[in-house]
Amino acid sequence: MTIDPAAVERAITPRTKAIVPVHLFGQAADMAPLLALAEKHHLAIVEDTAQAIGAEYIFPDGTAKKAGTIGTLGATSFFPSKNLGCYGDGGAIFTNDDQLAHRVRGIVNHGMYRRYYHDEIGVNSRLDSIQAAILRIKLRHLDQYNAARRAAAAMYDRALAGCEKVVTPYVAPYSRHVFHQYTLQLADGVDREGLIAHLNAKGIPAMIYYPVALRKQKAYDTHDYDDTQFPNSDFLVQRVVSLPMHTELDQQMVDYIAGAVLEYVK
């Protein structure tokens, strides 16, 4: 469900400034071909790592780098529901470019590079000290949290194996998935709203991330798009549903959830 490098190359025009791979649901996008495209066309790469902190991308030579540290810039979210969550709103931007880091620090601090001297229009995106203190402690446990999510995903995979009505999440060979979400694709004929209602009735929260393709959001509805260029997003937006995913899932919980899914789709 991540960005297709071949489609990216076809979409590049003289006006293109950056490639924005989204490491969706915890899976790293295929970065090696994107890096090659960025170099070829002199583009920046801005990684959206909101759902994939701690995930790794494995290069063809076997080396690995953390998602969010590969491109020009990487951004992540510390919202409480994320794999590394604080107790309120928070996020971070990563870069290896010192000049860019300096610029970002100014923009997120009201455009100040020296206190009370505003060199440009900025915003207040400073991370609260209390959130930073919480994250500093939780960061030590991030690998443990992600391992627990991978274990829960493996339990789901086993419980749903052989069911032709659902497709379990694909794990790319170049990605060390961290399963921010465990997202199924439903086969033709499965009533997604009916499945969600069935799960909810059994006390199981199930969510649709995301119900509307980006270009069809109201904020973008004044733009003209060629709908034939978005077959994957249009296909998936009608078929995906996410099951509960967190670090405390055990076999009994997974069996109950998966059993409810199978009960409905069969």
User: DSSP string of 77-145?
Assistant: E--TTSTT--SS--EEEE-S-HHHHHHHHHHTBTTEEETTEE-S---B-PPPHHHHHHHHHHHTTHHHH
Confidence at residue 265, expressed as pLDDT on a 0 to 100 scale = 97
pTM assigned to the model: 0.94
Confidence at residue 219, expressed as pLDDT on a 0 to 100 scale = 92
- Domain positions in the chain are 5-139, 142-265
Confidence at residue 38, expressed as pLDDT on a 0 to 100 scale = 98
Confidence at residue 185, expressed as pLDDT on a 0 to 100 scale = 98
| Cβ contacts of 224 within 8 Å, gap of 6 or more | none
CA distance 90 to 78: 5
CA distance 94 to 76: 8
CA distance 74 to 156: 30
Integer CA distances (angstroms), 222 to 112, 213, 225, 232, 234, in order: 34, 15, 10, 22, 19
Confidence at residue 222, expressed as pLDDT on a 0 to 100 scale = 82
Let me know: does 45 contact 195? Beta carbons within 8 Å: no
Is 65 in a helix, a strand, or coil?
Answer: strand
Which pairing describes strands 44-48 and 18-19: parallel, antiparallel, or unpaired? parallel
CATH number assigned to the domain covering 142-265: 3.90.1150.10
Confidence at residue 223, expressed as pLDDT on a 0 to 100 scale = 82
Token output for 230 = 């978005």
Confidence at residue 224, expressed as pLDDT on a 0 to 100 scale = 85
Q: How many CB atoms lie within 10 A of CB 29?
A: 31
Confidence at residue 13, expressed as pLDDT on a 0 to 100 scale = 96
Read off the pLDDT of residues 44-77 as tens digits, 9 standing for 90 and up: 999 999 999 999 999 999 999 999 999 999 999 9
| Cβ contacts of 217 within 8 Å, gap of 6 or more | none
CA distance 184 to 193: 14
Listed as ranges, residues in the chain with pLDDT below 70 are none
Integer CA distances (angstroms), 204 to 6, 33, 38, 56, 114, in order: 38, 39, 43, 30, 51
Confidence at residue 172, expressed as pLDDT on a 0 to 100 scale = 98
* Domain spanning 5-139, CATH class: alpha beta
